[in-house]
Amino acid sequence: DSGVTQTPKHLITATGQRVTLRCSPRSGDLSVYWYQQSLDQGLQFLIHYYNGEERAKGNILERFSAQQFPDLHSELNLSSLELGDSALYFCASSVEDSGYEQYFGPGTRLTVT
């Protein structure tokens, strides 16, 4: 158990819908990262927050957005969902800003039908 929690574990929704994925980092960790893992694409970095501020964006679509709240939990919002958005979404946390080892949560499996 990494200490990072993610909810829900599974999500099935229809195209065009909007969903919110939630992540609670390890106690004391200030950084939260979001990744998308598809079958053939490996782990794609989406976005990084540090202590409530956006630090870096990776390959995140405009339909996706995220935020980190004062209690350091984070939410990833996915809207206008398409079939291709079906994937595992991982949240990871680290103690400080970039460059430190990351602890991954169990992931949310999103299926868009």
Partner 1 sequence: GQQVMQIPQYQHVQEGEDFTTYCNSSTTLSNIQWYKQRPGGHPVFLIQLVKSGEVKKQKRLTFQFGEAKKNSSLHITATQTTDVGTYFCAGIDYGGSQGNLIFGKGTKLSVKP
Task: Give the number of other Cβ atoms within 10 Å of residue 86's Cβ.
Answer: 17
Select 33 or 64, whichever has its Cβ closest to partner 1: 33
Q: Per CB under 8 A, does 105 bind partner 1?
A: yes
Q: Per CB under 8 A, does 82 bind partner 1?
A: no
- Alpha carbons 15 and 113: distance in angstroms, whole number: 6
Q: Which residues of 71-81 are buried (b: 16+ CB within 10 A; e: fewer)?
A: ebebbbebeeb
- Alpha carbons 112 and 73: distance in angstroms, whole number: 25
* Interface size with partner 1, residues (CB under 8 A): 24
Q: Per CB under 8 A, does 33 bind partner 1?
A: yes
Q: Per CB under 8 A, does 64 bind partner 1?
A: no
Residue 81 beta carbon to partner 1: minimum distance, rounded to whole angstroms: 23
Q: Per CB under 8 A, does 95 bind partner 1?
A: no
Q: Per CB under 8 A, does 58 bind partner 1?
A: yes
CA distances from 98 to 8, 48, 56 (A): 26, 9, 10
| Binder of partner 1 out of 56, 60, 61, 95 (CB under 8 A) | 56
* Phi, psi (rounded to 5 degrees) for 107: 90, 160
Residue 98 beta carbon to partner 1: minimum distance, rounded to whole angstroms: 3
